[in-house]
Amino acid sequence: MIVKVGDPDSENRASSAEMIIDGREIIAIPGLVNLHSHAGPTAIRGLAEDLPLSMWLEKFVNPAHRALKKEDAAADYRLAYLEMLKSGITHVLDMYRFPEAGVTAAAELGIRSTIAPYTADVYDYFESPEDTYRNVRKFQSGLGRVWPGFEHISYCTESCLEMLSRLSLDYGIGLHTHEFETIDFVENDVKMYGKRPLQIFRQFNMLNDRLILAHCVWPTPEELRAMADAGVSVAHNPTSNMKLASGIAPVPEMLRLGINVGLGTDGVKENNRLDMFQEMKNASLIQRAITGKASLMTASEVFKMATVNGNAALRMKAGQIREGYLADLVLIDAMAPNMNPLYLDNVISSVVYSAHPGNIMAVIVNGKIVVDKGKHVSVDESEIIRRARETGTGLTKGIFEKN
C-alpha cells in the first residue's frame, strides 16, 4: 500500500523504507490495467492472420482450444504475464482456460490477475459450469483470483447462465463476457434466446454494476443508455477491433453517458502484442480518424481509462498515486530520446503518445519490484519462452492435422 506521498526532502519521507529509488529523471505512473485479455492460446500468435473473424475462430481458435491441455495453458499464462509485466501491466482481467494454472502463474510472476474462465456447457471443450463454480469458491484472495466468466451467451444454456449470475451475486464479484463484438454474435444470441443481449442479461439478473462487457462495438443508442443506467463497465479493445475488422466502438458516446470504460489488449491471437501504451494511443487516434475531431479522447481521458476506470471495474483501490492506494507503480525513463523534450504540464500526453514498453525502468506490484531495468527479477525468462515455443509447436501440429 502507498503509505505516504510527498516531497522526499521533507519530514513526509517514510522513515521505514527498506530501499530508496532515486526518482530524478523518472516518471512514476500507476500500474496499467488490462481490462480484457486472453493469455492464450499463444500458439496462434502470428499464425492465423488476415482472416474474417468467423473463419479465424472456426479454423484456428476453436481447434486450438479443443487441443489445449493444462500444461499448455500454464506455459501460455507464464509467457503472457511476463510480457504484460514488462509492458507495465500490473493487473489483467484474463479470460482463459485452466484458471488454477493462471493463479499459480500470477503468484510466480507477481502480477495481479482476475481470471474469468471460458465457461460453457453447449461445447464440451471449455471450462464446465462445475469447474468454474469450484474455482470461484477456491480462489478469491491473493494476486490471482477467479471471477465467473463466459465467452459468449450462445455458448451457455440457461442453467449455466443462472449459476454464473448467482456466483457473481453471492460473492459480490464481477462477471465478464464478450458482447456486441460483431453483428453476427448479436444475431447468434437472438437466435438462441429470442432476445437482444441486454434483455438476456436482464433475464438472468446480470445487468448490473458487476457486469464487465468486452468490445461493445455494436450496441444501439437505447442499449448504451440502458448500460449506463445499470452501471455496466466496458472493456474497449481498439487494436483487436481494428485488426479483426469488427468495427469502432462508440466510446466517446459511452463516456458522455457516464459508462465506466477501461481498456484492454484482447489476446495475443488477435492483437499479437500485450501493450497498453499501444491501446491508449489507438483508443485516442481511432476516434479522431473517423470523426475528424482532434479534441476527442484526450490523453488524460485514455490514461484514466487505463488506470482509474480499469481498477473501478475490478473493484480495486488502485490506479492513483495516493496514500492508502495499492502500491502498483510503473517507473518510466524520462531520459529516453522519445520522451524528450518533456514538459511538466504535458507529462500524460508524453506517456500516452510517446512512451512504449522499452521505456520502462521498473514495475512495482504490491510494493515489490518485479521488473527492474527491463528484466523480471525472479523468473528465468528464456525458460518461459522456450516452454511457450514447445507448446506452440505441439498445438500447431494438432491444428494443422485437423484442418
Q: Which residues of this chain interact with Zn ion, rule CB under 5 A?
A: 266
- Closest distance to Zn ion from the beta carbon of 182 (Å): 12
∠ CA 50-125-59, nearest 5°, is 20
Nearer to Zn ion, 282 or 359 (CB): 282
Written in H, E and C, the secondary structure of 28-71 is EEECEEEEEECCCCHHHCCCCCCCCHHHHHHHHHHHHHHHCCHH
Using the Cα atoms of residue 66, residue 72, residue 76 and residue 77 in order, give the sign of their dihedral: positive
- Closest distance to Zn ion from the beta carbon of 41 (Å): 12
- Closest distance to Zn ion from the beta carbon of 57 (Å): 11
Nearer to Zn ion, 266 or 275 (CB): 266
- Closest distance to Zn ion from the beta carbon of 345 (Å): 37
Nearer to Zn ion, 180 or 325 (CB): 180
CA 255/CA 241 separation, integer angstroms: 18
Nearer to Zn ion, 94 or 266 (CB): 266
Q: CB within 8 A of 58, min separation 6: which ones?
A: none
CA 77/CA 123 separation, integer angstroms: 23
In whole angstroms, how far apart are CA 68 and each of 42, 254, 273, 401? 11, 36, 21, 14
Written in H, E and C, the secondary structure of 152-186 is CHHHCCHHHHHHHHHHHHHHCCCEEEEECCCHHHH
Nearer to Zn ion, 168 or 240 (CB): 240
In whole angstroms, how far apart are CA 238 and each of 32, 58, 222? 16, 23, 22
Nearer to Zn ion, 108 or 266 (CB): 266
Nearer to Zn ion, 179 or 266 (CB): 266
- Closest distance to Zn ion from the beta carbon of 153 (Å): 14
Nearer to Zn ion, 127 or 266 (CB): 266
Nearer to Zn ion, 268 or 329 (CB): 268
**313 is written with which cell numbers?**
471495474
- Closest distance to Zn ion from the beta carbon of 178 (Å): 5
- Closest distance to Zn ion from the beta carbon of 235 (Å): 8
End-to-end CA distance of the chain: 51
Q: At 290, which amino acid appears?
A: I
Residue whose CB is nearest to Zn ion in the complex, by number: 266
CA 40/CA 180 separation, integer angstroms: 22
**148 in Cβ contact with 136 (< 8 Å):** yes
Beta strand 233-236 with 32-37 is: unpaired
Q: How many residues does the chain have?
A: 403
Burial of residue 316 (CB within 10 Å: 0-12, 13-18, 19+) is middle
